[in-house]
Structures are given as C-alpha cells and as structure tokens.
Structure 1
Amino acid sequence: MMSKIDLTNIPKHIAIIMDGNGRWAKKKGSLRVFGHKSGVKAVKTVTEAAAEIGVKYLTLYAFSTENWNRPDLEVNALMQLLVSTIKKETQTLIKNNIKLDAIGNIQSLPKACQRELKSAMEATKENTGMTLVLALSYSGRWEMLNAFKSLLKEAKEQDLDLDSIEAKDIEKYLMTKNFPDPELLIRTSGEMRISNFLLWQIAYSELYFTDVLWPDFGVDNLYDAIQAYQQRERRFGKTSEQLNKVS
C-alpha cells in the first residue's frame, strides 16, 4: 500500500473520529469497555504509522462533551483507561519523537486524568516529530462559543470596530490556534456525520468515511484514506482550469 502513496503529498494534518468501539465489542459478545480497550491498540498503531509516513499533526476525537451523557460505568471505565494508557505510552511517545497535546475542556476531566495528561505533555514537549492531539471533553460548538465570547470581550475592552473583525481574529481564540487546519478528516464505522468535531477547522478538509470499525482500523486502512485524499482535487472555490493554469 505504501508504494501507491505519493510521499510528496502527505496531508500535514489528519483528524480522525474514532467510531465503532461499542459495536465492535457487541459483535464479539463483550462489554463496550472491551471495545474501548481494543480501540487503544488501534490508536497506537495508527499514531506510529502516521508519524512514520510523515504526517505532522494527528488529532484524535477521544471523548466528546456529549460522551459525558453515557452510562456512568462506561464513562468511569473510559477515564481509567485514559489514565492508564497515557501513563503507559508516554515513553513510547518519547521514543518515537512524538509530542503530545490536547484540546477540549480539560478541567472537566477527573484530577487523575489531568495529572497524567499534564505529565505526558511536559515529558514530550521538546519532541520535534509528529504532534499527537487528543480531543478530550471537546466539541466544536463549545470551542466556537468560547472563542466568540473571548472575541466579544476583547472587542468591548478595546472598543474594536466590529466591521473590522476577520476570521483570523476568531481563530486566535480557538484551541487549535497553534495547529494548521486538517487537510483530511477520517471517520470510521460507516457513520457519515461530523459529530460536532472541529467545525471551524474542517471547512475545506477532505472527508473520508469507512465502514471499518475503529478497533479494526490499521495501517493499510490509513494508507487507503491517504491514497483517496491524494486522488482528489482541492480547489478551495476555484475551478480546475484555474488550478491547472497556476501549476
């Protein structure tokens, strides 16, 4: 599969909605928690494969603000799994020169999760390879609402002319202000929804949907998505003729 990929046209930033853990577990006759544990293996596999092929940023939708509405047993198990996984994999991130970052309402996570996340981010902050971004207790509308509030506060305090406000003024208050927008968004499990993920940032992202459940998503599936991305023409509102003339 790698031989079919143009290594000069790798998306700089890939975002993934990791969906299907529960259905995968149900097919196996197991609890949903078993699916989440198996999903962690896919995270490790895909993260290392993305770093190896030259992806600079990989953002994983790990836990949404809406996921807090799931049964307490599942939420508690997910939080415990998050703590143990971060603690276990920090050295692997260091070994692979991967920097860990996070977006979302991190303060809403259990204290143990916050501590492990902060510790891992501190331990990997000097890494210069790929940046792995975990979206935790995150939603696009929540992020945009907070950005708008911050911008309105700035406008009031500095008496800004509202007509002078541009997109860049909003973007500086987004949690992703230090990352480029994703060129490719992948969603597993066959669902064709964005599910409140990076709503501002994916305005021009290429969308790739696959029926593969997340625990089964592997290196070849990642390569398939990248290959599909490379076969598309990214016009950003222009015509094919305009792009070909420029090139």
Structure 2
Amino acid sequence: MRIRDRIDPLYERYLQWQCKHIPGHIAIIQDGNRRYARLLGVGTIEGHRAGAETTQQVLEWAKEIGIRTITLYSFSTENFNRDEGEVNYLFDIFKEKFIGVLSDERVHANQIRVQMIGDRSMLPPDLLETIEAAEEATRHYSRFFLNIALAYGGRNELVHAARRVVAGVREGSIASDEITPRTVENYLYEGLHLPPVDLIIRTGNERRTSNFLPWMANGNECAVYFCAPYWPLFRKIDLLRAIRLYDQRIRARE
C-alpha cells in the first residue's frame, strides 16, 4: 500500500472534522477532461469517460457528507462549437446517464430528484425525451436534488426569464410596478428546486465562473473555490477543502 493511500483517509477525516457548516447547495464547473486526455496522450473521449466516472463518485461523496443539492455544469451553450463527434459523444453519455436514472436503485432509495436547467430547445429530441422521463420519474422526491446544466448559459437564461416577465406584463398577469427579484427568480426556475448557491467549485486551474448561475450564485455572494486538479483527478480531499472554505466564510460572519 502506498503511503498516500494511508494518509489520505486520515486527512479526509481531519478536513471533515474541521467543517462544522455544510453548504446546502454546491454548484460544480467540471473543467479539465480534455486537458486530462492530452496529459495522458489519449483521445478526448477517454477524458470525458474518466470525467463521467468522477462525477458519479463525487455524487456519492456529497450524499455521504449531507449536501442536499448539487448542480453540475455539464454542457454550456458555447460547447456546441466543439467538434461534432465530441458533441455527439457527450450527448450519448448524457442520454445513457438519464436513462440510468430510471432503474438506479440509489436514486430511488435516496429519493433524489433529477432536474435539467438550460435551453431545452437546443437539445436533440431523443436526449430531451430521456431527460424528461428521468425528471418525471423523480418529480416527487425531495431528499436530495441533482441539477444538470445542459445547453446552459447564464446570460441566456436571464434573457429568457426577461422575455417571460415581459409576456406576463403584456398578458396582465404581472403588474410592472410590482416586479421584484422574487418575480424574476420564479420565472427563471419555474417548477424547479434550485435554492441559492452556497459554494461554487471549479476544477482545472481556471479562475473564473464562466457565466454559471449568475442570479443564484453571484446574487447570493456565494463562496468560490478554484482548484488545480483536472476534473477526472478531483478527489474527496478537494471537495472537503472547498467545503472548509465555505465553513470559514460562515464562521467569519458569525
């Protein structure tokens, strides 16, 4: 057994002991799959496959720690500019994962509600069909929440919400002088469980939030944790370090 295999579990327990405040909602920008593939000298698809495995592991860690809501930035509106083969492969992965929700005993035993945020009109019909089936199958769950951001752009989502608010004013269902931040929020995520973000994590040594959840994150002044590992190399230690940052911020306010 390597020394690291012995030390890491001890350090994980130490970090968890330090964290007295657990964020209710963590949003993760999963960055670095392609750079990880280049690092290993393998194809981009291999990087995405490794990233998908990490995602599954992180969801298990989050459940163990007691984080109730996770939002994953899985595919942005800008990602449509990538190679067509890569985009199609990613869509196949998403479709496979959403289909898996229907029969995954962990999802139903833990009552995990699965939701998508993003521009549904930009997704292929077969993928959208599987997403809606997964959403319907978990609609009544409320113990944990998993939000997948697909075809997502923060500015794009604000534009769509503004259009819906304007339409409501024109129809007479909204009085223009009664529009509040709560009004906008309701039109942003109508019918979804998406509370304010407490903590954003970005991997891959990038120090920007890339237009991710500007209303629920920036508007809430959430904590932001940037870390160096590419997403496939993200460890439980990295997750706990991010939570420690959040904990320190909460303590400073007390």
User: TM-score when scaled to structure 2?
Assistant: 0.86
| 1:77-121 per-position Cα deviation (integer Å, ceiling 9, x unaligned) | 111111122223541422443221111112321222112212222
Count of equivalent residues: 237
In structure 2, how many angstroms separate the alpha carbons of the residues matched to 1:61 and 1:53? 21
In structure 1, how many angstroms separate the alpha carbons of the residues matched to 2:111 and 2:193? 19
Identity of aligned residues (%): 35
Q: SS in structure 2 opposite 1:46?
A: helix
Aligned to 2:233: 216
**How far apart are 1:224 and its partner, in Å?**
1.3
The one-letter amino acid of 2:164's match is S
Aligned to 1:103: 117
Aligned to 1:112: 126
Going from structure 1 to structure 2, the CA distance change for 1:157 and 1:4 (only over 3 Å counts) comes to same
In structure 1, how many angstroms separate the alpha carbons of the residues matched to 2:153 and 2:88? 20
Contact 1:15 1:185 in 2 (8 A): yes
Higher fraction of helix:
2
| Corresponding position: 1:18 with 2:30 | yes
Aligned to 2:4: none
Q: SS in structure 2 opposite 1:173?
A: helix
In structure 2, how many angstroms separate the alpha carbons of the residues matched to 1:41 and 1:96? 20
**How far apart are 1:7 and its partner, in Å?**
6.2
Going from structure 1 to structure 2, the CA distance change for 1:10 and 1:233 (only over 3 Å counts) comes to closer
Going from structure 1 to structure 2, the CA distance change for 1:164 and 1:95 (only over 3 Å counts) comes to closer
Aligned to 1:93: 107
Consecutive unaligned residues of structure 2, counting only runs of 5 or more, are 1-11
| Corresponding position: 1:67 with 2:79 | yes
**How far apart are 1:196 and its partner, in Å?**
1.5
After the TM superposition, which of the residue ranges 119-128 and 66-75 deviates more from structure 2? 119-128
- What are the residue-to-residue correspondences of 1:36-185 with 2, within 5 Å? 36-90=48-102, 91=104, 92-158=106-172, 162-175=176-189, 178-185=193-200
After the TM superposition, which of the residue ranges 218-227 and 23-32 deviates more from structure 2? 218-227
Consecutive unaligned residues of structure 1, counting only runs of 5 or more, are 235-239
**How far apart are 1:123 and its partner, in Å?**
2.3
Aligned to 2:247: 230
Contact 1:7 1:53 in 2 (8 A): no
The one-letter amino acid of 2:134's match is A
**How far apart are 1:122 and its partner, in Å?**
2.2
In structure 2, how many angstroms separate the alpha carbons of the residues matched to 1:115 and 1:31? 29
User: TM-score when scaled to structure 1?
Assistant: 0.88
Aligned to 2:207: 192
In structure 2, how many angstroms separate the alpha carbons of the residues matched to 1:94 and 1:36? 26
**How far apart are 1:145 and its partner, in Å?**
0.2
